[in-house]
Structure 1
């Protein structure tokens, strides 16, 4: 009834002051969907007085959807004071497992000052309460203003996985293993010690609990994790898909909140070729969501988000090149015949290893170049694997591309274009073969 009511907008704005936080959150979501700029005023007032995390996050998302610059809300001192006030009683018991003592400390890009520990703890507690891997717009904004944010996001993901897959100690399962071994040998006649050791290995590998209820902290790797997040999620899916499907789906939801090409490519690969239907369907759903956010179809999303590993097409010869700045000199990385990343030494010679720094190299730049080279090797390999599989699937179904899309996103891509060179293509106009 409210959806068709002539006074819908006024009623939804009034609901921002409702006594129930769930109603206030839904009202903010509605205003985001309605898209009327007149909601900016009521939302701005409501978010400044809102004390609860759920509606506050929804209000920030609504303001962001309406085109409001959230920069003025980045008050580091206000955040610190709020954190100190909210954490007077300490960290909630539900987060007692989290290794706060080892938490990496990012720094503000503006003045290199460390982010207050209380602020980080409060942001984590807030994310945990929301029980969703979707980061708030404000958390994303903080991440953009921090150096070292990637390390923080990856640390949180590792901590969540460690908690989710934590197994028992040897002492905890020894008595159970001995009892089972005694029972087993009565039927099989195997040596009791062999059965005991085998049972011990099985029991130690069984996780004690689950971190699914703690999935809210995954908003951090969603908002600020680096490239390693994708590798970690991929490894988890391969290892635990048969035992921890809900957690696998949660990690897929987290990937869908990231905007980098590698996350999207893993989603696409999972949606098309993963071994279990439930996880595959979850990935399909998230692929559609990501594509719709960008105004694309899933096929367009797949075409336009293939990672480049930092390569671009050289203007002189059209070959893929990655330039690595060391200060006084620049190294050129290329793709060899096997599409592996190598360093071009000139005269047709290449090297797979990064050279030792010279005395005239800028140390900081040289270290960054070495990291970039290592990351490019890994990312290029993954891109080749994923796109090769995708082209195989495309050939199986006879997929077509319009010429402009093919030329821009496939042939013009520094890595995908090299795969295109290895295929036989035909040009069609309707059902007529042109060439």
Structure 2
């Protein structure tokens, strides 16, 4: 049944309603209103004038208009409204509107069955100005496979549609045979594979296929213009190899002659023919292998980017042509193939690592005879991965027969290869010691370094003794540092002035501390460093410290520098650290001189913490993420509670955006926790300061009267006199040093609260628990954390995690129930934790809200007022939710991205072109992550229109990574938090849907 006037009018009425909800300024633009009215009048027949949208563009139209063609019924005769809609969309003045219509056309044809859609559509398209070739090209568009036939399967008697031409297929066939050239040209101009057209002709017009088969096999353009169309060749050989054999051979030979085919394609096509006609094409394959391997052996495959080997993809693995060639040759003639292998490996300047793996899998230990020649390749030609693969293979077997070749390689200039080689040769144990000892006297430092690596890896008393003897005579720093790794504990077990003096003197003899390693550092101009015995660090010792720290890798102390660092009085080194840090920043902060940051951390104090903290943020803002990582590492080295609190803060601040900095902070905390024998949560608790308070108070005296300072419910310093009366400020006459101390405490409290409040909220969500004694010590014994204890609802849990009771903490530290009765924690109490509202009934939540309101207690963060969303029983088996699919974010993509990041989400892996397809939020403690699809966000660009998509949850456990979880298996708190996050983004009317 054709469209009715009522249906069309209803459509435009819906468009107007959607426009009225839009906030975009162009919706009220006079031109927009005019154009929309012109479209409506034309479709309804109120005017015969075609709306001209040439200069308007699709983006200026309601997305409701996008659905206009979808009004047209499927598999039914069309009327005047259908014709007007299509005439409008396909008109030459409206090209911007029709670019996506091939999808509509595909859907119409796919759903129409035997109904001839093209019989209705083609006349309309011609009226719109399209010619026969235009219509053919439109149906052959390369956005997806053309739709000539229904699903293939000639012997499928249960599906009568099988291999039958679609409506478009019939339309193509209507041009044959008279206008076959037109069809071929239309297909060629769409720059896609001719495979679908080939199939249509094979089943329904063999005559035309036979006439144009050469063009199908070797297309003039399209996906395979430099070779044969592999889909076509595979199809023809499968269906009727005998009939098309000559045409395929002709195509191969033509492309070879014209040098328009890659060797891998030549190989592939001869192999296909060989499979179809076993044994018939052995001579062609043999000649091909000889020609390619001879060509490869001469080094002729070297290009702008170095040497290469042809390859194809099979099951997502690269299959290299040298490997494929020898695989086949070894199957056909093993003796001749092995004879060819010897000169090929010896003479070829380049081999891929896969070729080495192939030889190992084929011959095992017998491949050892090939490895001396393989070891002789130039590292610049074959790369490090080649040698890594080769060494891993050699290590698996007894390699004594080729050890001379391995030892010859110790002379290589490649540092990476020497390190890998040392691991291999060290496996010889005592046998390698004598040769390594001789190499320690080699003229080249590279060789001496390799010898030192081997001896260090052998690590026996004899090898360490040899290193010790050579250590003080070695002048090359690289070789000496290798020895130092093994000797440090032995040589520098106990630091003292005599050891330091010897180290400085020997460095002088080697000419290493005649001047500062950095021109802009003048040691004499730096603040004085002092040793723990009170003596000043000399200028030579400062230069020695800078020289040795310049040898350090990453953000860590050098092994020899540690001797001097352990003698320095850290309580007096802060000025030195701050000056060095300022010089480093003022002189460009070169990453190669990052050891200045390390020293600032190793010698810095809490004032240095402020400098480093500000610099981390500056470097992040200026896109110097790696430098920010280094600065975070330096902060951790300061090691004070303030420093570690700052690192912990960065681990959360940069958890999503600039996650490399957050990861560096997290790693630094893990290392600190490991050194202290704590877990990460315990470390985070331990670095909260107590300011030397005695419980909740700090006592001080003014004019013989005693006062108590404390931190009030608003995290501000407050004071009590002897009568317990609260004062607005410190009493008059308070000593200046005491007032200064209180100012520092006030500032420190602000910093703690800034990081601690979001941390506790995270703990509530992840369900962290404290053992009873630890909770009492942390929350009832620390002046800052006690404030948190009084502004949150707590729960006592048994050993199985079951909630026993809820309570809040009064200002006198008593624990009070909802009914204002003092709570005595039972012996069953194993842990204490914050209550998430999902743990209790709606009535209890409301009661706690009222309780805090009556007591004028403002929660630290939304706790009982938190939005709670439960999983519907009908959704528990689902692994995906469409609740947010198609929901438009009125404020645009930038708002969507910023809000998600603020709520703790991070963008998922970016697709090609910088498109961000989704955001994810991880709950690592609960082993779950959530992922929501997004539309409109591209790295560096944000669309005006943005949409949410499907939501799913995945397992965070590595063994089940990527597995979607049924909603019923997701922790209720995770589901609630994720849904609440996403509803905060939606317009108020929509976000209220489905709340508990």
Shorter-chain TM-score bucket reads: 0.5 to 0.7
**Matched residue SS, 1:241:** helix
- Summarize the alignment of residues 34-433 of structure 1 with structure 2, pairs less than 5 Å apart: 69-72=493-496, 75=499, 77-78=501-502, 81-82=505-506, 86=511, 89-92=514-517, 95-98=518-521, 100-110=523-533, 112-136=534-558, 139=561, 142-143=564-565, 145-147=567-569, 148-164=572-588, 210-242=589-621, 243-274=623-654, 275-304=657-686, 306-308=687-689, 310-312=691-693, 314=694, 318-321=695-698, 333-341=709-717, 346-347=722-723, 348=725, 350=727, 372-429=741-798, 430-433=800-803
Shift of 1:80: 5.2
**Matched residue SS, 1:399:** coil
Shift of 1:247: 0.7
Distance 1:89 1:259, change over 3 A: closer
Whether the aligned pair in 2 keeps the contact of 1:132 and 1:218 (CA below 8 Å) is no
Shift of 1:433: 1.2
**Matched residue SS, 1:434:** strand
CA–CA separation in structure 1 for the residues paired with 2:541 and 2:603: 16
CA–CA separation in structure 2 for the residues paired with 1:87 and 1:350: 63
Whether the aligned pair in 2 keeps the contact of 1:74 and 1:142 (CA below 8 Å) is no
CA–CA separation in structure 2 for the residues paired with 1:386 and 1:84: 48
Shift of 1:399: 2.5
Distance 1:426 1:135, change over 3 A: same
More helix by percentage = 1
* Greater RCO, CA 8 A, separation 6+: 1
**Matched residue SS, 2:698:** strand
Shift of 1:132: 2.9
CA–CA separation in structure 2 for the residues paired with 1:290 and 1:356: 43
Distance 1:350 1:402, change over 3 A: same
Whether the aligned pair in 2 keeps the contact of 1:309 and 1:380 (CA below 8 Å) is no
**With structure 2 as the length reference, what TM-score do the two structures score?**
0.32
Shift of 1:103: 0.7
Q: Which structure: larger Rg? A: 2
RMSD of aligned Cα (Å): 4.7
**With structure 1 as the length reference, what TM-score do the two structures score?**
0.66
Shift of 1:24: 8.4
**Matched residue SS, 2:710:** strand
Runs of 5+ in structure 2 lacking a partner? 1-394, 396-422, 806-996
Shift of 1:241: 0.5
Whether the aligned pair in 2 keeps the contact of 1:15 and 1:24 (CA below 8 Å) is yes
Per-residue deviation, residues 156-214 of structure 1 (Å, max 9, x unmatched): 222222223xxxxxxxxxxxxxxxxxxxxxxxxxxxxxxxxxxxxxxxxxxxxx51111
Would you say how many aligned residue pairs link Structure 1 and Structure 2?
A: 369
CA–CA separation in structure 2 for the residues paired with 1:50 and 1:331: 66
CA–CA separation in structure 1 for the residues paired with 2:753 and 2:476: 46
CA–CA separation in structure 1 for the residues paired with 2:431 and 2:718: 62
